[in-house]
Structure formats: structure tokens, C-alpha cells
Homo-oligomer: A and B are copies of this chain.
Amino acid sequence: MAGVISNSTPADWRPLDPENTIYVDLKKGRVVIELAPSFAPNTVANVKALVRDGYYEGIRINRVQDNRVVAWEFPDADVTNAARRIKHGKSTLPPEFERTIDQAMPFTPLPDGDVYAPEVGFCGDFPAARDTNTDRIWLIHEYGMVGVGRDNAVDSGGGTELYVIIGQAPRDLDRNVTLIGRVVQGIDLLSSLPRGTGAMGYYEKPGQYVKIKAIRVAADLPPARRTNLEVMRTDTPAFHDLIESRRYRREEWFHVPTGRIEIVNIPIPVRPAARVPAH
């Protein structure tokens, strides 16, 4: 894989759009989330509105479930106060679990099948599944993906609770939760947090909560304070080479190259941006 990256050209990479990037700043560092407006336009817009309304001010990580998720939402006692700050956002939204396939968005399929979906691959540089019979496509739950928590009603999640997958891909959540993007840097700051000992990994004592210093849209920070990253495009020959390098591990260490690959085992490379976007 290192060879594929070193052989790539600048055109194989795409800088993050500051307007669709969110920073979650913790004491130990920054978590960078790339948003996926192509898949969840209303929810992404709403999360950005909640950020800009100041809704998340004072929010803390209150749930760390091993091999599952890190999540943050206000405890019941604080929700009303936080909701008062909402001006442009909404507390809840209709779900965006899946969407109609857009032929204008390239889809890079994987050749080895999937247990859960008719077809999996990459679309818009995110891991996705699709069903060409029903003309539907959706983001899949895997390590680093970011979603909006909800209650039993499908329209009860709009972004007031956010979660990040930190374990084995819980694919049974696909099409059950609106996914809004993925962590492209800093996931280790979340995955190494102490696990909550309550049911579903909730911290049992407020003293365990992990402070979030700020959640901001990258575009709202002066350029000098942004974390400029670029993501490898998934619709290029270089990315096709990357897929093959993972299907057939050529390193001398490997005794049996599998010749197969599952979508959750293909990383989408991210690196410091060579070019900083002008806007």
C-alpha cells in the first residue's frame, strides 16, 4: 500500500472542503470529521447549523462502549437549556438512511462480495453499499464512521447526539441510522478513551465525562488554525491499485495471500494537504 501511495499523483488526492469538515477539539488533540452531504444533505446541513448556533457548547463525551461507539449528547437535565440556543438548526429531522443512486457520482465496486448488501464499494470517497434493483445507495457502518443517534422513532435523530464507530463494523446498523461522515484524523483520541461501565457503555459518573473543548466547522476558523488534509480519491486507477494491493498481499511476510477483500478492510488514505484550498 505504501508503494501505491508513493506512486500516486496530486490528481489522485482531494483536499477536504472546509465547509464540509468539522473539528471536535479535545484536550489531547483534534478529531477531524469529513461530512458527506451527498448522502445526508439535510442532516449534514443541520449539524453545521447546530454547530453555528452554539448548540454543542459544553457537551461532553458520555458514552464509550468497547468495540462499538464513542458518543456525545447532553444529559436529560441539560437538553432543554441547550435547545434554547438553537436558532437555525432543528432538534430532529426525517431520516436519511439511504438515497437514490446518482449516476453522476462514480461508484468503485469491490469484486469479492459482501455478507450484508448486494454490492459494496466506494462512492464520493466514502464506503457505500447499493442495490441496483431498487436503485438505492447508502453509507455503511464501519470503523470511524460518524452517525446521528436516535430514539425508536426514525425521525427522532437530527444531530443532537453524535457517535463514532470505534470497533468491528456494526453492519446491522446500516440503513437504520443516518450516517453523516467519517473521522479522517484523530480517531485514536476517541478509541483509546476509558470504557463506560454502565449499560451500552455510558459513563456512570459525570466525573468520567470527557470534555469537548469546541466543535466547529473548519471554514469558520482562520486558515492558519485549520488542519489541512487531503483524502485519496476512490475513483482513480491509483485507488484500484490500492484495492488490489490489499486483496493480494505481496509482502514477504504473507504465507497465504487471501486474494479477497472485505470493504471494511480497505483504508481510504488521508495525509497532510500539499495544496491548501483557497476558499
Contact = CB atoms under 8 A, between A and B. Distances in A.
A238 B187 CA distance: 37
Interface string A240-255: 0000001001001111
A93 interface: no
Contact of A66 (B97, B191, B193, B246): B191
Given A67-B191, A171-B258, A176-B256, A115 B112 contact: yes
Contacts of A168: 142-143, 167-169, 264-265
Contacts of A14: none
Contacts of A154: 255
Nearest to A249: B172
B66 A176 contact: no
Q: Count identical subunits in the complex.
A: 2
A179 B120 CA distance: 29
B116 A113 contact: no
Contacts of A152: 252-253
Nearest to A120: B115
B192 A194 contact: yes
Q: Which of A193, A246, A256 has the most CB of B within 10 A?
A: A256
A167 B144 CA distance: 11
A271 interface: no
A167 B64 CA distance: 15
Given A66-B191, A143-B67, A253-B152, A262 B175 contact: no
A261 interface: yes
A260 interface: yes
Given A115-B115, A192-B192, 20 more contacts: A66-B191, A66-B192, A67-B191, A115-B260, A116-B262, A142-B168, A151-B253, A152-B253, A154-B255, A168-B169, A168-B264, A169-B265, A170-B265, A171-B262, A172-B246, A172-B257, A172-B261, A176-B253, A176-B254, A191-B195
